[in-house]
Amino acid sequence: MDFSSMTVAEIRKQVEPLMEGSGSPGEDFLQTLASDPRAGVRNIYRMLERRRLRISAEEQRLEALSRYEKSLAVEGIHLVAGVDEAGRGPLAGPVMASAVILPLEARIYELNDSKQLSPAKRKALAIKIKKISLAWAIGVSTVNEILELNIYHASLLAMRRALEGLKLQPGHVLVDGFAIPGLSLPQTHIVGGDAKSASIAAASILAKESRDELMGLCHFLYPQYGFDRHKGYGTADHIRALSQYGPCPLHREGFGPVRREMRSEK
C-alpha cells in the first residue's frame, strides 16, 4: 500500500481497525510504515509492531494452555471437560463449580486463571466462554451441605454436579488440584490447573463469576453484611458486620469466625 500521498491522520485512520481487531498486520505493511520518512508514521509503525508482538506472545501462551486438550485429541478424545470450583474459603454462601467443554480450536484471548483477572475482564470472558463452548454447566453445594460434609467433600459434590449438568458427555475430565473420587469418567488432576489448561481456566472463570453474581443477589436479602462487595470472604468489613449483627442463614457455622460469633451470642 502506498502511503506517500496520505497524511499522518489519514494513515492513522486507515490502521484503526488493525489496532482494535485481533488480527495482525502483514510484514510488508509494517515495513512500508517503518520506511516512511515522517516521524508520525514511524510512531504508528512502532505501535503496530508492539501490538503484533503482544498478539504473538498471547498466541504462544494460548497454545501452551491447550497442551493437555491437544494431547488428548491425539489419542482421539475430542470432548474434554475442564472443571473447577469457587468459594472454598468464604465464611458465607455456597461453594460453586463449573464444567466446560471448549472446541479444540478455540482461541479466547486473555483466558487465564480467574484469580488473575479483573472483575470486568472476568465478566467479559465469561460471556465469551458461554457463547463459544460446546457445553457448560454449574454445580452448587449449599451451606447446609458444607456443614454436613465439610468444605472439601462439598466442593467435590459441586464439581460432580457440574459434570452431570453438561449436555454432552466428555471423554475425559481435567480437574484443578485434586482428583474427584468415584467419578466414572477418566480424569487427570492438575495442580494449578486453572493456569495450565484452557478448559480448567474457562471453568474457573464461570465458577467464580456465577458465585459472585449469586452473592450479589444475596446482598438484597441481607444488605447489612455487604455480600455484594466481599462475596462472603472474611474481610475486615465482613468480620465487623458479623460481630455487630451475628450470623445469618448464609453463614457457614463450622468456620472459625462464624463459630466464635455464635458462641459470643449465647
| pLDDT per residue rounded down to tens, the chain (266 residues) | 667 778 888 778 878 777 766 556 677 777 888 888 888 888 888 888 888 888 888 889 899 999 999 999 999 999 999 999 999 999 999 999 999 999 998 889 999 888 888 999 999 999 999 999 999 999 999 999 999 999 999 999 999 999 999 999 999 999 999 999 999 999 999 999 999 999 999 999 999 999 999 999 999 999 999 999 999 999 999 999 999 999 999 999 988 889 887 765 54
For residue 180, the model assigns a pLDDT of: 96
Cell numbers for 133: 463452548
For residue 264, the model assigns a pLDDT of: 58
Cell numbers for 141: 453445594
> Using CA atoms, how far apart are residues 47 and 144, in angstroms rounded to an integer?
54
For residue 40, the model assigns a pLDDT of: 83
Which residues, 6 or more positions from 99, have their beta carbon under 8 angstroms from its beta carbon? Answer: 81, 82, 83, 135, 136, 137, 139, 159, 162, 163, 165, 166, 170, 173, 203
Query: Strands 95-101, 135-141: parallel, antiparallel or unpaired by DSSP?
Result: antiparallel
For residue 231, the model assigns a pLDDT of: 96
For residue 36, the model assigns a pLDDT of: 84
Residues 38, 6 contacting (CB under 8 angstroms): no
Task: Judge residue 165's burial from the number of C-beta atoms within 10 Å of its C-beta, 0-12 exposed, 13-18 middle, 19 or more buried.
Answer: middle
State the fold for domain 67-208.
Answer: Nucleotidyltransferase; domain 5 (3.30.420)
DSSP E strands: which ranges in 134-252?
135-141, 172-176, 187-190
Q: At 151, which amino acid appears?
A: I
Which residues, 6 or more positions from 48, have their beta carbon under 8 angstroms from its beta carbon? Answer: 15, 18, 19, 25, 30, 33
Cell numbers for 168: 454432552
For residue 152, the model assigns a pLDDT of: 96
What is the value of pTM for the model shown?
0.84
What residue segments make up the domains of the chain, in order of their start? 8-65, 67-208, 218-265
**Three-state DSSP class for 255?**
coil
